[in-house]
Structure 1
């Protein structure tokens, strides 16, 4: 099944590792940002520096997404047992980087400021992202790989039309709700070119 965003939100149902609290983050920590520009097709946001726990997916198949989710959950449990609790937070990300011959997929959970994961793990990285400009397209409805790909395409076209420069190879699906939620807030993120 190639419904990567569906699986991403299904992963949210499994408890995982308690920014800025907002309606879409359900009063949980989430990355802080300022909206610097808004138009009908996207928002331009300036995100502060953030940290994420990230693991690579072997593929976009459901079994591999669930295995990555388990790796992050186990990592958080080991951190908690060592006295380094990673609180629940939003969003959960799936990053897709398209290469010349293949694509890479990563699952990431936001690490709230002041949280210090310290137990090393060969399969889970603590990834620091510097402050950056991110172009964001929000969309609702039940998430799926198809809706994510469609919205990434619409966002890229809107960015070209607006004369924005961006990373054409990487897009990020951000999920803020359980798959079984009645209302879904989904986003596609594309980083501005440096």
Structure 2
């Protein structure tokens, strides 16, 4: 019995010491750590650790506006690198946050900053550095080439699944998370909605 107990203790300690292993859809790049709290019909419930992001406004739902936001973040990272501040661009996911409703949508694009990234003093008013606290997030996974309209459809499906499950959640904001380059043959996409 003591031997069995010793083996179990060792296995538990080894699992904690190994650290977090990113899922395959992160493509061996850094992405935010989370723990799956529950799996439900149509969504997964995850607990994310506190994270940092660089963000910029997306001016409209047009693809050209999304590409312009992407270019702003990329240029910002290159300027920071030239100034001696290393900001990794080898991270996933890229986020599109959609807030608002009938009066119009507010959109922003964000890139994940890995833990330990030195956050430089920001002199670019078009880019912000955001810290997001630990949070429970409801996640719907879907494939295909992402777009704002496909994200809206999947956000609607996630909200319906959350209502059926009796979950309380943010009704005004959702986040589209993409883990692949836009021109990739396959895509792992997610819709995130924060628990209320």
Instruction: Normalising by structure 2, report the TM-score.
Output: 0.85
Q: Higher relative contact order at CA 8 Å, sep ≥6: structure 1 or structure 2?
A: 1
* CA displacement at 1:158 relative to structure 2: 0.6
Distance 1:21 1:133 in 2: 18
Cα distance in structure 2, aligned partners of 1:79 and 1:94: 22
Q: CA deviation at 1:70?
A: 1.4
User: Unpaired runs of 5+ in structure 1?
Assistant: 1-18
2:167 aligns to what?
A: 164
Structure 1 runs, 4 residues or longer, greater than 4 Å off: none
- Separation (CA, whole Å) in 2 of partners of 1:75 and 1:20: 29
Task: Give TM-score scaled by structure 1 length.
Answer: 0.85
1:74 maps to 75
Structure 1 counterpart of 2:17 = none
Q: How many Å apart are 1:99 and its aligned residue? A: 4.3
CA contact (8 A) 2:41 2:161 kept: no
| Contact 1:94/1:105, CA 8 A, preserved across alignment | yes
Q: Number of aligned pairs?
A: 175
* Paired residue secondary structure (2:22): coil
Please, what is the CA RMSD of the aligned residues? 1.4
Three-state SS of the structure 2 residue aligned to 1:150 is: helix
Which of 99, 109, 112 lines up with 1:110 in the alignment? Answer: 112
Provide the residue aligned with 2:193 in structure 1: 190
Give the C-alpha shift of residue 67 in structure 1: 1.7
- C-alpha distance in structure 2 between counterparts of 1:29 and 1:126, whole Å: 18
Q: Which runs of 5 or more structure 2 residues have no equivalent in the other structure? A: 1-19
Larger Rg: 2
1:168 Cα deviation (Å)?
Answer: 0.2
Q: For the structure 1 residues 149 and 109, does the alpha-carbon distance in structure 2 shift closer, same or farther, using more than 3 Å as the test?
A: same
Alignment-derived partner of residue 93 in structure 1: 95
